[in-house]
Amino acid sequence: MRVRAAGLTDVGCVRKGNEDNLLVDVKLGLFVVADGLGGHAAGEVASEIVVNQMHHFMSQTVEQDRTWPMNYDMALSFNGNRLRAALLLADQAIVEDIQQHPERESMGSTAVACLVDGERITLAHVGDSRAYLLNDSGIRQITRDHSWVAEQVASGILTPEEARKHPFRNVITQALGNGGDLNVAIQEMEVKKLDRLLLCSDGLSGMVPDSDIHSTVQKAKNLEEAAESLVKQAKNNGGEDNITVIIIGFDANEEHLPDITT
Ligand code: CA
């Protein structure tokens, strides 16, 4: 399956700095969106640590021939373990950075990561950055946010519509860098030809309804145009937060698109 991807990040219309980071490595099959928290330039440090740490670890573990840096979860596949370990190491790296720079005490980061291995993809996330699957039949959010409102929706206390407008909608229940127990969500699925996978920060999903995300991606001539249109739409709707999107296409029928676009 031929994999192509386009990624884009934008400060948005309100924030002074961009605390999001992204990684697009088509050769490695690794795609990451990280949304930093903490302000005063610390958020962008945290999200940068996440993408660098993940990239480093995933590059070092293509073959299953090394001593694992932490407990190996037998319930997960090798790739599931790779992503889980990469995120736990990123968590540790943020904690260590805070020890050296106490002024960054409040920093942390979300992450959503996708590892593509043929038709099989492995997704891992912490926090409220999301993965969506899009194709001709519609759009489906694959990750469930680690957020207060998502828990309320799961318990039937809030409707998804109420959650979108709730004053606590930005409260996440876990993040990288807190140094506590981290419950990395891992899932695996198979993709089909022409499927598209979208990874994004809440600067997109909080500003653009899912149905508009779907129609925008379907209308775009190629992945690059889809990424640009999504960012533009988030900004037209107010752009209240940093916006980051990665769109991965599987055997997409497109012309003149380079294999790697960042
Ligand atoms: Ca955000």
Distance 67 CA to ligand 1 centre (A): 35
Distance 1 CA to ligand 1 centre (A): 32
Q: Is the pLDDT of residue 218 over 70?
A: yes
Distance 76 CA to ligand 1 centre (A): 29
Tokens of 196: 């598209």
DSSP 232-261: HHHHHTT--S-EEEEEEEES---SS--SEE
pLDDT for 252 equals 66
- Determine what percent of the chain is predicted with pLDDT higher than 70: 96
Read off the pLDDT of residues 123-148 as tens digits, 9 standing for 90 and up: 999 999 999 999 999 999 999 999 99
pLDDT for 97 equals 96
Distance 164 CA to ligand 1 centre (A): 14
Distance 14 CA to ligand 1 centre (A): 12
Q: Is the pLDDT of residue 156 over 50?
A: yes
Distance 47 CA to ligand 1 centre (A): 11
pLDDT averaged over the chain? 93
- Going by pLDDT thresholds of 50, 70 and 90, the confidence category of residue 67 is confident
Rounded Cα distance, 20 and 31, in Å = 14
Distance 74 CA to ligand 1 centre (A): 33
Distance 202 CA to ligand 1 centre (A): 5
Distance 178 CA to ligand 1 centre (A): 17
**Whose structure tokens read 């001709």?**
136
Which residue stretches of the chain are H helix? Answer: 42-60, 78-100, 148-154, 160-165, 202-205, 210-219, 223-236
Residue 260: Cβ within 10 Å count: 13
CA dihedral (95, 96, 99, 101) in degrees, to 10, reads -100
Strand order in the sheet with 260-261: 138-141, 130-135, 196-200, 243-250, 3-10, 260-261
Confirm if 36 and 45 have CB atoms less than 8 A apart. yes
List Cα–Cα distances, 249 to 74, 178, 211, 230, 243, in angstroms: 30, 34, 19, 15, 20
Rounded Cα distance, 63 and 59, in Å = 9
pLDDT for 257 equals 46
pTM of the full structure: 0.94
The mean per-residue pLDDT over the stretch 209-226 comes to 96
Class of domain 3-141+174-250: alpha beta
Read off the pLDDT of residues 160-177 as tens digits, 9 standing for 90 and up: 989 988 999 999 999 999
Q: Is the pLDDT of residue 25 over 50?
A: yes
List Cα–Cα distances, 168 to 14, 144, 152, 162, 163, in angstroms: 19, 16, 11, 11, 8
List the helix and strand counts (H, then E) for the chain. 7, 12
Distance 75 CA to ligand 1 centre (A): 31
Read off the pLDDT of residues 83-126 as tens digits, 9 standing for 90 and up: 999 999 999 999 999 999 999 999 999 999 999 999 999 999 99
pLDDT for 253 equals 62
Distance 198 CA to ligand 1 centre (A): 16
Distance 43 CA to ligand 1 centre (A): 10
Distance 133 CA to ligand 1 centre (A): 20
